[in-house]
Amino acid sequence: MRVPIIILALLLVCGTTFAQVNWTNEPIILKQIKGSTIRSVTVKTLAGNIAVIGTNAQPSIEVYVDAINEATSSKAELKRFVEQDYAIDMVVIDHQLTVSATCKYGDSNWKKAVSISFKIFVPRSVVCNLNSKSGSVSLVNLDGNQTFATNGAVNLEQVTGIVRGHTGNGDINVSNTGPDIDLATTDGNIVAVNCQGKVKLKTDQGSINLSRLKGTIDATTTAGNIQSDEIDGTFNTETTVGDITLKRMACHLNATTASGTINAELSKNCKSIKLNASEGDANITIPAKDGFNLNFEGKSVTGDMPKKFSGTNDGKKLLGAVYGGGIPVEVHAVSGEVKVQFI
C-alpha cells in the first residue's frame, strides 16, 4: 500500500523539541498514517535530521526543509525546490514504513539547495533502520531494536531494546536506555546517563562522560579524557592519551591510560580494582576501616596507611592488607607516582 503525499501550506512546528536536533523551519509536509499497523521504520536522507518518537497517538510524519546556502533561503524557494528537484517518498508495505528523500538529479547536486529532515511519530514497539549522511539522529521513547548510521549528533532517550549505531563526526548523548547498547563515534564526545545492561561506547577523538550506569560497561577513547560517576557492575575503560576520573565506583573496575593521570574514588561496595597508568600518576581514595588487599607499584608509592595494615612498602612497591584484607586493589604507574588516601 502506497501512502499518498500531501503537501500543505507551511504548518506550525510541533511543540515537542529535542536537544541538539535543529528543527529550524515549519514543516512543509504533515502526513497522518491511517489504516496500517507499523512494525518497522526505514529512513534515508542525505542531508537532514531524523527523529523517531514513540507515541500512543496516530502515527504521523512531519517533513522539514532548511536552506543550505543563501541563494535558496526564502520559504517560497524552499517549497519550489522540494517540489521541483526532490522526491520524498513515504510508503507502507507489509507493516513497514519506508521514508526517503532523494535528489532527482543525483546526490552531487543535493547540498547546493536544501536539507530535508523527518520527524516521525510511531508506536513504541517499532524496529528502526536509519541513515543520514549529514544530519542528526534522535530516538525517543522506543522499545524495539534500533540501528542507525550518520555523520551528525546522536540523541537517545528512553530506548529499550538492542541499539547499534555509528556516527562519523558527531557527539553521542544517551540516557535512560538499555539493556543492550553499542554506540561509536569517530570524532565526537560521548555522554551516557542512567543506562543499564550491556553498554559499549567508543570514540576515537573525544571525551567520555558517564554517570549512574549499571551492568557490563565498556568505554574507550583514543584521545580524550574519561569521567565516570556511580558505576555498578563491571566497568572496563581505556584511553590512549587522556586522564581518567572515577568517582563512587562500586564495580569490578579495570581502567587504563597510556599517557595521563588516574584519579579514583572507591566505595565500600566496590568489587575489584585494577588501575594502570603507563606515563602518569595514579591517585586513589579508599574507604577507611574496610578490608582491602593492596598491590601498588610505581616510581614512588606514598600515603598514610591505617594502623591495621599488614604488609611491606619499600617506597616503590606496596603489598599487603588493611583491616584483614578483602577487596583486591591493584594500581600500577610505570613511570609515575602512586598516592593512596584512606577516608
Domain containing 18 equals 1-135
Residue 14 domain flag: yes
- Alpha-carbon distance values, 70 to 77, 111, 114, 133, 208 (Å): 11, 12, 10, 21, 36
What per-residue confidence (pLDDT) applies to 71?
Answer: 54
Residue 40 domain flag: yes
Rounded Cα distance between 205 and 222, Å, is 6
Q: How many CB atoms lie within 10 A of CB 232?
A: 20
Residue 208 domain flag: no
Which residue carries 574514588 as its cell? 265
Residue 26 domain flag: yes
Residue 66 domain flag: yes
Tally the domains of the chain.
1
Q: Which residues, including other chains, have CB under 8 Å from residue 280's CB and lie 6 or more apart?
A: 243, 257, 259, 260, 261, 262, 333, 336
Going from the first residue of the chain to its last (343 residues), give the mean pLDDT of each consecutive group of 10, the final group possibly shorter.
28 30 69 91 93 96 80 68 88 96 74 81 98 94 97 97 96 98 97 98 97 98 97 97 96 97 94 96 93 96 91 95 95 95 91
Residue 177 domain flag: no
- Per residue in 155-211, pLDDT (tens digit) is 999 999 999 999 999 999 999 999 999 999 999 999 999 999 999 999 999 999 999
Q: Are 121 and 104 in contact (CB under 8 A)?
A: no
Q: Is the pTM value of this prediction over 0.85?
A: yes
Residue 115 domain flag: yes
Residue 10 domain flag: yes
